[in-house]
Amino acid sequence: MTLLVFGATGDLCQRMVLPSLFGLAADGLLPADLRIVATARSRLDTAAYRDLAGRALAEHLDADRLVPTAVAAFLDRLTYVPLDATDPAAFGALAAAVRPLAPSGDDLAIFLSTAPSLFGPTIAGLVAAGLAGPGTRLALEKPLGADLASSRAINDQVAAAFPEARTFRIDHYLGKETVQNLLALRFGNALFEPLWHTGGIDHVQITVSETIGVEGRGEYYDGMGALRDMVQNHMLQLVALVAMEPPARFDATSVRDEKVKVLRSLRPIDAATVEACSVVGQYGDGAASGAVVASYATDLGHASRTETFVALKVHVDNWRWKGVPFYLRTGKRLPARQSEITIAFKAVPHSIFGTTGGALRPNRLVIRLQPHENIRLSIMAKEPGLDRDGLRLREVPLDIGVPNAFADVRRRIAYERLLLDLIAGDPTLFVRRDEVEAQWTFIDAIRAGWQAAGMTPRPYAAGTWGPSAAIALTERDGVSWYD
Ligand code: BG6
């Protein structure tokens, strides 16, 4: 078995792919014969690439994981072939290195961790060099286009050489343990599902906030903005997982069939509704993690109209979710790094405790993806003590205690799951073409709406929860964001 990695000297490869592959190898989860052929433009040889990979592991993994024999055995799996993907002739040398390792093509998986502008020439080069055989799998990293049209163009290019069943589109959120835990929670327990609909749920909130700014990725980010960088992919996938019907089985077709139905049921937000249903912001000067930080325009080096924050009120127009708003927000330079899904249940229909018991707060199920994964259910409980006027109630958390329950299990990088599945050929946690296209359809309408309504980002100070209009977006419905 051979894994061929393009973009092997890039940031993603060094931060995520190599440490993940090492983690899998060290735990004995990779096929014993797996070879990794790394390629990029830099004119290195295998020894120099192994040095680079060793340094990447040392930088991105805890020292106690770096057992010297395991590191040496891992580096030994690596071969490096320099390649300029825009030069068709260069693929001959690559094929000469790969073919002896993966003679049938069924035992070859390819990971494109490059700029999308290289997808076309790379695929053409692979085909011409005979490296796109009938069993070969191809994994692609985002951005898969910047709108529906460009995403279709990329998908068409890929489809000409790799059928859908062998195309693995990565959304790294699907590799996160807690995202998969959402499925376990919903479909491994009888407790929640009977309430999981408009009759039991008042609204859903999804927050993915980051404290970082654009961190040297300004050029890419400025061309995308928060809507396309985070909502189009990760956040809509979270919506799909929260809202999907129970699939018949946990397999690629059943799960993705149900997700795409949700994505196609999203009520379009267009020119008529965009002002009521969306808020966009851009960070100005402010503070992050106790330090003074500069505005987006300063980070970028020029003024820009790209949003670094977006909040949306989304509806899933089907029987289950009729009338249940999904509030989404994401942004850079917010006060905390926090990814959370909150399911806010409906209030009890009638309080038997009168006014002395205190306000009865509706139950909330909070699924925290990061920084510390956890699942917490808030319930009303009696305050201990005697009170002449009757029972006093208080909201207390029922902590599912994921960190303690699984304290002995190492938390894995999302890419470990995804790389393992790519090598095994299981696409369940990868995004199918119809999903990506439904996601872009929804996003394109919002962007067209912003343009038609002349909406531009409102300023917010770095280190705050976005423009105040984002607070008004939910407060109008009598709902507060859970910070
Ligand atoms: C990426 C975005 O897809 O996800 C980044 O391009 C963002 O802008 C990142 O920072 C967030 O991922 P995570 O796993 O840190 O939540």
Residues annotated as catalytic are: 234
Q: Specify the pTM.
A: 0.96
Contact (Cβ atoms closer than 8 angstroms) between residue 361 and residue 380:
yes
Residue nearest to atom 14 of ligand 1 (CA): 173
To the nearest 5 percent, what fractions of the chain are helix, strand and coil? 40, 20, 40
**Ligand 1 geometric centre to CA of 97 (Å):** 34
Q: Is 444 in the pocket of ligand 1 (CB under 6 A)?
A: no
**Residues of the chain where predicted confidence (pLDDT) is lower than 70:** 356-357
Cα 92 to chain centroid distance, Å, stands at 35
Closest Cα partner for 264 from 404, 438, 11? Answer: 438
Which of 86, 121, 141 is at the close of a domain? 141
Q: Is the dihedral of CA 15, 422, 371, 469 positive or negative?
A: positive
Q: Is 171 in the pocket of ligand 1 (CB under 6 A)?
A: no
Mutate to test the pocket of ligand 1, among 20, 229, 235, 373 (most ligand atoms within 8 A of CB): 229
- Do the domain assignments include residue 241? yes
CATH number for position 337: 3.30.360.10
Mark whether 184 and 129 lie in a shared domain.
no
Provide the residue range defining the domain that includes 442.
Answer: 174-475
CATH number for position 21: 3.40.50.720
Contact (Cβ atoms closer than 8 angstroms) between residue 60 and residue 14:
yes
Phi/psi for 340 (5° steps) reads -145, 140
What type of residue is 174?
A: L
Q: Residue 223: its pLDDT value, please?
A: 95
Residue 204 CA to residue 268 CA, distance in Å, equals 18
**What atom in ligand 1 is closest to the CA of residue 229?**
6
For residue range 385-443, list pLDDT tens digits in order.
887 777 888 999 998 777 777 877 888 889 999 999 999 999 999 999 999 999 999 99
Q: Write down the residue that tokens 């390819």 correspond to.
A: 110
Cα 34 to chain centroid distance, Å, stands at 27
Q: Is 202 in the pocket of ligand 1 (CB under 6 A)?
A: no
User: Which are the contacts of 440, defined by CB distance < 8 A and separation ≥ 6?
Assistant: 145, 147, 148, 151, 232
Mark whether 121 and 250 lie in a shared domain.
no
Mark whether 191 and 276 lie in a shared domain.
yes
122: buried, middle or exposed (CB in 10 Å: 19+, 13-18, 0-12)?
Answer: buried
- Do the domain assignments include residue 272? yes
**Which regions of 7-57 does DSSP assign to beta strands (E)?**
35-40
**What atom in ligand 1 is closest to the CA of residue 234?**
3
Q: How many domains does the chain have?
A: 2
Q: Is 421 in the pocket of ligand 1 (CB under 6 A)?
A: no
Q: Is 299 in the pocket of ligand 1 (CB under 6 A)?
A: no
129 HSE (CA, 13 A, CB side): 24
- Do the domain assignments include residue 107? yes
Residue 468 CA to residue 110 CA, distance in Å, equals 45
- Do the domain assignments include residue 317? yes
Residue 180 CA to residue 187 CA, distance in Å, equals 11
**Ligand 1 geometric centre to CA of 229 (Å):** 8
**What atom in ligand 1 is closest to the CA of residue 221?**
8
Q: Residue 406: its pLDDT value, please?
A: 81
Closest Cα partner for 213 from 307, 279, 283, 117? Answer: 283
Q: Is 229 in the pocket of ligand 1 (CB under 6 A)?
A: yes
Residue 305 CA to residue 221 CA, distance in Å, equals 12
Closest Cα partner for 309 from 298, 296, 300, 299? Answer: 296
- Do the domain assignments include residue 158? no
Which of 124, 141, 158 is at the close of a domain? 141
3-state SS record for 302-367: CCCCCCCEEEEEECECCCCCCCCCEEEEEECCCCCCEEEEEEEECCCCCCCCCCCCCCCCCCEEEE
Q: Residue 357: its pLDDT value, please?
A: 63
**Ligand 1 geometric centre to CA of 172 (Å):** 9
Q: Residue 356: its pLDDT value, please?
A: 65
Tokens of 201: 């749920």
